[in-house]
Amino acid sequence: MSAGTIVREPEALSVEINGFACRVWRKGEGPKLGFLAGFGGLPRWIPLLDALARERTLVVPSLPGFPGGDRGHTVLDSHLDWVLAVRQLLQRAGLDGADLAGSSVGGSFAAEVAAIWPNAVRRLALVAPWGLFDEKEPMTDPWAQRAPEVPALLCADPERWNELKTEPEGANAPEWPIEQVRANEAAARAFWPLGNTRIEKRLPLIQAPTLLIRGAEDRIMPRSYADRFASAIAGRTEVRTIPGAGHLAELDKPDEVAAAILAWTR
């Protein structure tokens, strides 16, 4: 590829983790930045990714079991299995030592990797990362929900979630909905029933400067969770609240979230 070429479409690569293919999207130029998607995964490209790719070589690996991640979750039986799979995924996607961002589920795994392999991550940006549970302020159960109520739980504007999840024309009809259920299952496999992976024990190992991003209208995760991440992490931290954004802030406010991530990792 010659310098100056405008890349409109992301490259779609594939790496193998435990015998399952994981899709890796890549777009843009400049220093590498990784992004691990949140609850529900990325069944399609989203505006946040374009915004990030304007300044960076953006690399987006799919977590096992999430859209693009085949059925890789089915061989992950323990949290150690999960963390090792994510670590290998980042290495094979060429993200070792790069800046890393992640949302909810992906944010939690990004934090794990930064804690256990300090050299694996340069700077960290986490959007409403999972992994904690506070009895006094319980995280909303993301699975025990009536289907029509899910979009407004995950996004401040339910339409953003619907845009992500609506079956595109010409999609392989029963596979699309099965893939969306699989994404919820994969999240469940790692985080059922409370979302509590006891990550709190590992947060003090994180040396990387870490930005905590939270949507002001997050209906899944209480504000205090971001504060607990921030205070437990050893490296420098900052909590940024995005007005008008819900739990998956990157869907509600892609430009604002991208700007925060880009500024933090510049």
- Please give the sequence-ordered ranges of beta strands (E in DSSP) within the chain, or none if there are none: 11-17, 20-27, 32-36, 57-61, 98-103, 121-127, 210-215, 237-242
- Binding another protein by CB under 8 A: which of 92, 189, 219, 228? 189
Q: How many residues bind another protein (CB under 8 A)?
A: 22
Secondary structure class of 40 (helix, strand, coil): coil
As measured in angstroms, the least distance from the Cβ of 229 to another protein is 24
How many Å apart are CA 104 and CA 107, to the nearest integer?
5
Binding of another protein by 160 (CB under 8 A): no
Q: How far is the CB of 64 from another protein (least distance, A)?
A: 11
Q: Under a CB-based contact definition with an 8 Å cutoff, are residues 72 and 22 in contact?
A: yes
Q: Which span (82-90, 129-137, 172-180, 211-219) binds another protein, by CB under 8 A?
A: 172-180
Residue number with CB closer to another protein (145 or 231): 145
Check residue 138 for interaction with another protein (CB under 8 A): no
Among 7, 11, 30, 192, which residue sits at the site for another protein (rule: CB under 8 A)? 192
83: nearest Cα among 101, 61, 108: 108
> Closest Cα partner for 153 from 123, 184, 110, 199?
184
Q: Residues interacting with another protein, by CB under 8 A?
A: 71, 73-74, 77, 143-147, 174, 177-178, 181-182, 184-189, 192-193
